[in-house]
Structure 1
Amino acid sequence: MTNGEGDGGDRQVQERGIGDAAHKKSYTITCSSTFRDAIIGLAESKRANVGDIARSVVLLFPETIIAARPDPGEPARDDRETVVLKSGASAGKPWRRKPRLQARLAPGLTIPFLRRALSIALALARGHLLLDLATPEKNSQRALEVTAQNALLSARTEEVTRLRTIVSALSFDPLSGGVETRDQALFVLGLPPGSHPDQRVIRARFRALATIHHPDGEMGSHVRMSQINAAMEILRRGGN
């Protein structure tokens, strides 16, 4: 192989999303909290990071196939996460921002393109896309073939789950004496009394309730949001 051929190969590798660490770029991928949690869960199950997941799709699929995938999109206006600032004049203060994923990849990619790539990885993991590795020439087309029955079942299941969450949230009545005990905290978050849910379940329920009851929303309530925050704090501390 000549030097010219080697250089060309290196450029192709970088363009497909590998590149060496010195040439990688840090991407902030804004997305819905539901999409963020699903991708983080997928990465954890594969013992990988978000960049690894995106890079695998970029390497495996042609750019045209990824670009043709529907963009999961930006988060809704009332879909925000709260973080505590760690530096600057506002250090220690909470800040509400768009949910996001972080990934280090080769430069030159766009956020919508990366969201599309991650959505392909999620669809493959859920069995909504089928990839026939035995016939490489058909991979691109097969990767976009959605199994209609599985897709319909998944859509119905997600819709039922969403409706159940909304109904549960809407039935939450504020406690007259506030939230002081663990059982009261479980009640406010709509969790079974005496249960011991893990932090992921607690955070997911908190986000669902906060989306509905945050004072900035159409159905917002300062009282409900205050009790939701208090319940979250009690369960986060593991209080009784």
Structure 2
Amino acid sequence: MTTPGVKQSYTIPCSSVFRDAVQALAERRGVNAADLARSVMLIVPEKAIDEYEDPGDPPKSDRETIVLKSGPAEGRPWRRKPRLQLRLPPGFSIIMVRKALKMALDFDTGDVKMRVEKSDILAAESAALAEARALKKRQAEPPVELLQSREELERLRQIVDNLAFDPLDRGVTTFNEALHVMGFAPSARPDLREIRTKYRVLAAIHHPDSNYGSHQRMTQLNAAMDLLRRHIT
């Protein structure tokens, strides 16, 4: 069951050949890959898509190289599976979306045809109208609610900034500095389990990809974790 008007990000692993074919079709039609998948899933019965061929994950030899944009490894190359990044309503499986994209490619080449009945068209129109109305309703929400959300987010940022440690000018070089960065008292002697627990909590806050993240704090948090771990082990 999907929620009209609400979308989430889907990462669809696939071969580089399949990815390139989907992107090329989307470009020719003046849409994006999510539009292709959504169009198929609006028209074609779910059972038909479920029974369709899945192009599957990429083979082990098919990898792409990207450069990391944040974190301790920022700027370093990383090999990963080729993928498509789509935004669709929640509730779809990765395989369902991938099959829908395969069906869109096969429709375009004429490898598969579908008999469309009036009931199918009416159902698709009804679903599209319902989604459009839900989206319009969400966009028409009073601006004051959005303003309040922004104000609340700013308050949370200020709270995190006030409670978080001040980055050390020279970086983390001593055991006591590592304790400070990790939020332990100067006299504390935490074990490895306590250190890992504290690190997970702080990393979720300070990671550059979070709403309150800080690259400098995350770098020093990693350095503190490494120093304390080496000191204990």
TM (norm. structure 2) is: 0.49
- Structure number with greater CO (CA < 8 Å, separation at least 6) is 2
Larger radius of gyration: 2
TM-score, reference length from structure 1: 0.48
